Structure 1
Amino acid sequence: MEFPVLTAQQISAAIQKRLAEKSSATRLVCFDFFDTLVSRSVVPEDTKKIAAGQLAELLGEGLTGELIYQLRRVLEQRLCAESHRNGLDPEFNLLDLGRVLYGVLKEITGDGLLPAEGSFVALLTDIEVAVEKLVQTVNREVVELLRDCRSRGMKTAIVSDFYLPSEYFRQLLSCHGLSGLVDHLFISADFRLTKGHDGRLYEVVCRESGYRPEETIMVGDSGHADDMMARRRGISAYCLRQPEKSTESGVNVTQGRADREPERIYTELFAGNRACHFPEMGLSLHYFTHKLFLQAVSDRHDTLFFCSKEGEFLRKLFMRYQEIRFGRQVVASRYLMVSRKATYICSCKKLEDEDFGRLFVHYRDLSLLEFLRSLNFSKGESLALCEKLQLEPATRHYDLKNHPDFQSLIGSESFRASYEVHRLSQRENFLLYLNSHGRGLEEEGLTLVDVGWKGSIQNNIYYALDGRVKVSGYYLGLLSPTELHPNNGKKGILFSDYPSHSPFVHVFNNNRSLFEMVLGASHGSADGYFRRDQWENLLYPRQSDFYQNDEGEHPFVTVMDLPEERRLFNELIAPLQNVYGELNDRLAAQLVSLTPAMPEFEWWARQHARMVFRPTRDEIDFYAGLYHLENFGLFEFTAFRPGGKLPVSTRLGNLLALLKDPAGHLETGV
């Protein structure tokens, strides 16, 4: 028997008419989900293929998405047949599939290569949900019908033949803002009973909801499962004409991209999310995020520690990338409040064994005040110490380590005593801070992520841990890394000059300062590590205060936050980061597809090169208005505004030198 196919508006009118009839009581309106409340941008089997590809990328070991998908098909059929033999409908639950698939893959890969069974099943399920979120768009007119039914006092339910159990299905409702519009949820996976096989799921609906069939209405797109099977069970039904697919969703996986060049796809995505200044920086940051994730998975790191301050935004990109692609944090991340000033004193040795070489190799000419502040002495204590020793604090000396005043300072008992107190207390508190992250450092090691460039903070942490802990570092850029040891390895992800020059290193190297500026943070620099009782009893007060985040005040860590830095971040940097973040979301979603393909690295480098070689006048003016606070070695604001216009002869000379030796001049970063 065929029944009329109606639009959402026609169904709404029919329900209103039914309500007006006193002889008819309608208390529950049920809705199908797929092709009713939401539409997919791919056919149903393609969501499984996409999810299989995502899972294969994480597992590695030669597993392919096609292999996992084919195994899944066979196992689904086996589970459905088993369910039918047990007197239920031919249906399966994704959690059961995950457990069976785990056993098969373990036989293929052997022990030790897969996560534990529970972790594997959770990963499989989270990926499935993430893919479904990306391929679905809400059908607004049907949602309005759902909302109208609720407003008229009727209860609502979703009745769906689907293998995802309801506890995970609810995440889809939440994603689309439907949770508050649905009173009941009946998913075939929970009962192994379906609408489409013989309609037994409708018996569950009436029994569990407490409403009789004559009090219930079913709305859906399937003439068989939603209409005929419902009517056989005594439920009134309306067959919905499939709505036009909405284009209002934020990000979608679409079909038909396999034959299109990746460069064209990414150019189109980029065109829709361009920041007003340096828009290509968003591309470079996304590419770094993607490569960082792949490297961490390949190296089997389960947790990355992002170093402040640049690590704040890098971590946000990393977390969003994983959430969009996999529905979870496959590689966990922590935020580590560190700076060169805060960590250097923690890494220093006893005075008789310390030559401060790791400071002087980068800052040869310093004043005594700058030296003491680099050791994290407060400004007040530094001045008091110099006054006591009758030494001039502010004069910057050529080659300070060989200056008589420096020898007088480090030879004094006053300095020796203060140095040892600072060194031991800061180191003790820093180690307490590290251990507060709940990680067994000596057993598990410590993997850092930072912007670059030599890895000085990593060196400080390595020495603060006495070299006993394996410390690894991933950097956006790595240039002439120092202090490399078997337990202190470093890798440049986007560009590097070690152990050899990576492709297009000069292009990215020339924007080091810009990378640092656009990766500004919402807080100040780590100033030191103190217990609250130590802080309250400091003889010389400091400008900093304890670090606070969404969870409240953090013990042990103090930060120095200056008004100039807050203004710069809030007014200039945060708006750029918002656009970069949106672009990262769109590009991460593009990887969730049947044929994920990224442009070759040369394409990304060419996009970045536009900012180096052809910045706009607005971008130059914007950059000239930025400034940066140096808080180690030299303690001063660095501005990027040029001091004056170069003569034409000088500019021509620079151009000729560049043309003669482009690599040599670009290498300098000038």
Structure 2
Amino acid sequence: MPSYQLLSLDIWDTILRRDCHPDAIKVETAAVLLERHGGELQEAYRNPRALFRLRQDIERQLGAAKKAQGFDDEYAIQDVFRELLARAYREPLPEAAAEELAARLVQEELAAEKRHVYLDPDITAKIDSIPHERLVCISDFYADEAFLREVLTAAGFSKPLERVLVSCDFGVNKRSGRLFEEAEKLLNVTPAEHMHLGDNAYSDVEVPKRLGIAAERYLPAEEHKKREEREQNFVGDSKKPLQYPGAPLTGTDDVSLFFYGFVQNLAEEAMARGIKKIYFFTREGEFYKEIYDAMAAVSKRAYPKSYLLEVSRLATFMPSLREISTKELMRLWNQYSIQSMQALFTSLGVELEAVRGYLVRHELPPEEVITYPWQDKRVQALFADEEFLDCMEAERDEKRALLLSYCAERALSGAEEEIAIVDIGWRGTIQDNLCHLFPKTKMLGFYIGLIPFLNEQPANAEKRGYIDAFRSARALMTVSTPFEMICNSPNGSTVGYRREDGKTFAIRNCEQEEDAIFFSYTKELQKHIIETCAALCIYCENQLVTEFELRPLAWESLKRFIYEPKREAVKAYFALRHNEEFGVGSYVDRRTRFRPLLMALALVSKKKRKEFKDFLRDTTWPQGYLTKYRLYPLIGMYNRILEQYY
């Protein structure tokens, strides 16, 4: 082979290869803009692929404008982003802010390229096989030399490059041949001294040969086959993101899809906010953390560090009390306005024997159920009793010290920082308790769903409900306990804390019957969900399917689990005893009985229809009850009534 003064290389699909379709990188950048500034965009562009299509239009228009000026149809990435922001935003951004955001988007795209790029396995040997004096790259691309040098370095390309000559820097490209001419002029070489290597039959072979440059097409069979498969399998239809090869799921009949959407949403939001720590609350958070950790292990992105925080309403409410008073206890009584003193002190984690003498003194039988306890004169007298207040303050301070010690050992010490917390829902009262304990720490709470708050929200609390934006979310949240069952853990509920050998541990109370349901049903379902979520993470990252695009399907999978239950889930649910010690003061039995007479009378009596409807509601899973007794025709009717009502 002759020796050449100059060897020039194409970059994409020659030196560098992506593990995805090239357009997927642009979709990912669009998704970042949407995650961080979605509320500021016009409604039509609140979708990654809609932003991507807008970008394509802008690229064509900028290229045409350059051509009209006598250049080739080239454009620079920062110019594209400036125009994209100008068109996509509802209100024009100030020039300095637009410039800064455009620059940040360039960096986001650079980071995306680095995540998805790898070095062609045979390119180094190929370069070494061609005798040459000088080595450069010549590429048709919309980002400049510095950008491409960073990507080359990230991929591990170590050959010394004299220059990286890019079409966007010169306004001319390889397709016209003008970039080759500019390169030779700049580097002071003739076509006879120049050889070019690249994958494109036209711009890397036919055009340079026409100019007198030696050229060879570089198209290794195995890598080219992978590229064709990636481009063929690229998700082009955002409405059917799972209808492509390699998708772990193809429909919405698997509730794993919902859990993937929820966990991916919180991970992306935390990364966008620069949050470094995510705390998953027991009990349900144990399962969410397993999903999160499984996804983090296979993701190309650096997920924030995850922590398990063993907490409960019972374990955190008493330590969070700012004072011992009926006014402060309204945080509890706003939700449980009919309550016995026994249930109250169970909710506070206080042994009844420790306060029995005070209850006797104020003629308050522990088992007496009181409506609006704060209005009862005996309760008012109890909370005016200085001796009782001293006793309760000592209980609170002891519990608070233990909780603070436990949290500090898990890197939660009340510092001025923003953290994320994750729990199932539904009002986020555990988050409220911790916010009162740590007023300097801003807490962003991620929940499956939220219902209207009953208490004033702490200034340092922010909460997000994943399903809240869907029209019938409130209807679905009336049937939340079956979902709680599949998120359960066998490790019990946290009831307090203890010190041992200089460390603080959570005390957890297990219910044998509840755990039996976990091991007979929930455990295997959770294992399947965790594995499927990890597979979905790999698929969605490779295909650049965003959580935003999957959200409607995730919602549909949750609805199907609740509204169209499977018999194995129903069987497990109606054998369950559910922990309601906080507020109610006991476990609630979910077991039911068949009521054929009531159902028959409901056909002819309006009064009995209402009684039957109330009975169904009281089962806490009407659809499950109807499935249990094979009353399938009534399920669709009940679902329609429920959704219409809400």
Q: 1:53 to 1:268 in 2, by over 3 A?
A: closer
* Equivalent pairs, count: 571
Larger mean Cα displacement after TM superposition, 359-368 or 320-329 = 320-329
Q: 1:102 to 1:614 in 2, by over 3 A?
A: closer
Corresponding residue for residue 510 of structure 1? 479
1:280 aligns with 2:273: no
1:3-40 CA distances to partner (integer Å, 9 max, x unpaired)?
xxxxxxxxxxxxxxx6xxxx989999956424886589
Q: Report how far residue 415 of structure 1 moved.
A: 2.0
Corresponding residue for residue 179 of structure 1? 155
Alpha-carbon separation, structure 1, partners of 2:259 and 2:467:
9
Q: 1:312 to 1:252 in 2, by over 3 A?
A: farther
Corresponding residue for residue 644 of structure 2? none
SS in structure 1 at match of 2:472: coil
- The amino acid across from 1:541 in the alignment is R
Counterpart mapping for 1:447-466 below 5 A: 450-461=423-434, 463-464=436-437
1:612-653 CA distances to partner (integer Å, 9 max, x unpaired)?
35444444566689887778568988897x58xx45747967
Alpha-carbon separation, structure 1, partners of 2:391 and 2:256:
47
Q: Report how far residue 354 of structure 1 moved.
A: 5.4
1:188 aligns with 2:165: yes
Q: Report how far residue 477 of structure 1 moved.
A: 2.4
- Residues 425 and 448 in structure 2, CA contact (< 8 A), matched pair in contact too: yes
- Residues 29 and 154 in structure 1, CA contact (< 8 A), matched pair in contact too: no
Q: Report how far residue 90 of structure 1 moved.
A: 8.8
- Residues 345 and 423 in structure 1, CA contact (< 8 A), matched pair in contact too: yes
Corresponding residue for residue 343 of structure 1? 316
Corresponding residue for residue 15 of structure 1? none
- The amino acid across from 1:477 in the alignment is G
Corresponding residue for residue 208 of structure 2? 229
Counterpart mapping for 1:231-630 below 5 A: 237-238=216-217, 240=219, 243-244=224-225, 246=227, 253-255=234-236, 257=237, 262=239, 265=240, 268=243, 272-274=247-249, 280-285=254-259, 308-309=280-281, 310=284, 337=309, 339-352=312-325, 356-359=329-332, 361-362=335-336, 374-375=347-348, 397-399=367-369, 411-412=387-388, 415-419=391-395, 421-422=397-398, 425=401, 433=412, 435-436=414-415, 438-439=417-418, 450-461=423-434, 463-464=436-437, 475-479=447-451, 481-484=453-456, 492-495=465-468, 502-503=471-472, 505-507=474-476, 509-515=478-484, 517-518=486-487, 541=499, 559=506, 573-583=526-536, 586=539, 607-620=557-570
Alpha-carbon separation, structure 2, partners of 1:206 and 1:639:
86
Q: Report how far residue 333 of structure 1 moved.
A: 10
Q: 1:574 to 1:70 in 2, by over 3 A?
A: same
Alpha-carbon separation, structure 2, partners of 1:127 and 1:163:
12
SS in structure 2 at match of 1:494: coil
- The amino acid across from 1:222 in the alignment is A
Q: Report how far residue 159 of structure 1 moved.
A: 4.0
Identical counterparts, % of pairs: 16
Corresponding residue for residue 121 of structure 1? 103
Q: 1:170 to 1:308 in 2, by over 3 A?
A: farther
- The amino acid across from 1:97 in the alignment is D
1:523-579 CA distances to partner (integer Å, 9 max, x unpaired)?
9977879xxxxxxxxxx6369956xxxxxxxxxxx65579999x9798652441231
Alpha-carbon separation, structure 2, partners of 1:55 and 1:612:
34
- The amino acid across from 1:576 in the alignment is I
- The amino acid across from 1:345 in the alignment is M
- Residues 303 and 447 in structure 1, CA contact (< 8 A), matched pair in contact too: yes
Alpha-carbon separation, structure 2, partners of 1:205 and 1:652:
90
Q: Report how far residue 344 of structure 1 moved.
A: 1.4
Corresponding residue for residue 532 of structure 1? none
- The amino acid across from 1:573 in the alignment is Q
TM-score where L is the length of structure 2: 0.59
1:133-180 CA distances to partner (integer Å, 9 max, x unpaired)?
78x9x9xxx956448759999999994512335776588779xxx935
Gaps of 5+ in 1: 1-17, 208-212, 440-445, 530-539, 547-557
Q: Report how far residue 340 of structure 1 moved.
A: 2.1
- Residues 269 and 587 in structure 1, CA contact (< 8 A), matched pair in contact too: no
Alpha-carbon separation, structure 2, partners of 1:508 and 1:206:
72
Alpha-carbon separation, structure 2, partners of 1:321 and 1:192:
39
Alpha-carbon separation, structure 1, partners of 2:232 and 2:506:
38
TM-score where L is the length of structure 1: 0.57
SS in structure 2 at match of 1:418: helix
Q: Report how far residue 483 of structure 1 moved.
A: 1.4
Corresponding residue for residue 9 of structure 1? none
- The amino acid across from 1:436 in the alignment is A
1:228-285 CA distances to partner (integer Å, 9 max, x unpaired)?
6389797663454884465765995344x48xxx3xx257469943499x95323334
Alpha-carbon separation, structure 1, partners of 2:567 and 2:322:
49
- The amino acid across from 1:283 in the alignment is L
From 97, 110, 117, the equivalent of 2:79 is 97
Q: 1:233 to 1:319 in 2, by over 3 A?
A: farther
- The amino acid across from 2:208 in the alignment is M
- Residues 93 and 164 in structure 1, CA contact (< 8 A), matched pair in contact too: yes
